[in-house]
Amino acid sequence: MTDPVTLDGEGQIGEFDEKRAENAVRELLIAVGEDPDREGLRETPARVARAYRELLAGHAQEPEDVLTTTFDIGHDEMVLVKDIEIVSLCEHHMLPFHGVAHIGYIPAANGKITGLSKLARLVEVFARRLQVQERLTTQVADSLMRILEARGVIVVIEAEHMCMSVRGVRKPGAKTTTSAVRGQLRDATSRAEAMSLIVAR
Ligand SMILES: Nc1nc2c(ncn2[C@@H]2O[C@H](COP(=O)(O)OP(=O)(O)OP(=O)(O)O)[C@@H](O)[C@H]2O)c(=O)[nH]1
Ligand SMILES: [Zn+2]
């Protein structure tokens, strides 16, 4: 039998086994004292399995799959896309965390830039995996540096974790901010400038 969930460092895992996920949800329903065969729950294992397939679709994708369209328009100043809504699944509790990502980069010296929507698609690739917010942030930043050969990158993610709001410590509204800054944007002045654009409303 192949091992279906072997994580490597980049979060690539095996095929999503929908039947196995369904069986697991059925077991969970029994474990919490429910009758999985009652009318309202009959289709639930299949629905939940489909939901997880969707929420974890990024495990089957690579950043290269979405950072495809590149143009050379000779723009060499920062490009910043703000308030990209994200939903991810925390790997500790498998509960969602949701919020916004802000992504800025200084294009390569050869002026290679990508389509604006591709930045949002890139976040999706990594958000639709079992994650911690810090890793999500650094994976987006490192992919942009590597694939676009960007001269600098800043990624800031602000999110609320359901595992902190609906259970455990129960602090709804608490927001976590993470950032990853690479290349030329690490310079104090550039970093401050980028941050001021990100916080400006
Ligand atoms: N750094 C980091 N921590 C996270 C993230 N998502 C969830 N956590 C934390 O992971 C930790 C897991 O702690 P544990 O003590 O093993 O689990 P727990 O008993 O459920 O912890 P509580 O949430 O405090 O009840 C918790 O403190 C969560 O808040 C994340 O994206 N980044
Ligand atoms: Zn959690």
Instruction: List pLDDT tens digits, range 145-155.
Output: 999 999 999 99
Query: Quick one: pLDDT at residue 12?
Result: 59
Do the beta carbons of residue 100 and residue 83 sit within 8 Å? yes
The reply, when asked if residue 90 is annotated as ligand binding, is yes
Whether residue 24 sits in one domain with residue 110: no
13 in a structural domain: no
Q: How confident is the model at residue 11 (pLDDT cuts 50, 70, 90)?
A: low
User: What values do phi and psi take at 27, rounded to 5?
Assistant: -60, -40
Active-site pick, 12, 34, 61, 163: 163
Whether residue 147 sits in one domain with residue 89: yes
Is the pLDDT confidence value at 163 over 90? yes
Query: Quick one: pLDDT at residue 71?
Result: 80
CATH at residue 104? 3.30.1130.10
Domain that holds residue 41: 18-55
Do the beta carbons of residue 157 and residue 120 sit within 8 Å? no
Q: Residue 163 CA: which ligand 1 atom is closest? A: 23
Ligand nearest to the CA of 176: 1
Q: What is the mean pLDDT of residues 106-128?
A: 93
User: Each residue of 90-125: b (16+ CB within 10 Å) or e?
Assistant: beeeeebbebebbbbbbbbeeebbbeeebbbbbbbb
7 in a structural domain: no
Query: Quick one: pLDDT at residue 2?
Result: 34
Q: Cβ(163) to ligand 1 under 6 A?
A: yes
Among residues 64, 71, 61, the alpha carbon closest in space to that of 115 is found at 71
Instruction: List pLDDT tens digits, range 172-192.
Output: 999 999 999 999 999 999 999
The ipTM, to two decimals, is: 0.92
104 in a structural domain: yes
- Domains of the chain: total: 2
SS3 184: helix
12 in a structural domain: no
Instruction: List pLDDT tens digits, range 38-85.
Output: 999 999 999 999 999 999 999 999 999 999 878 888 788 999 999 999
The reply, when asked if residue 163 is annotated as ligand binding, is yes
How many angstroms separate the CA atoms of 43 and 194, rounded? 48
178 in a structural domain: yes
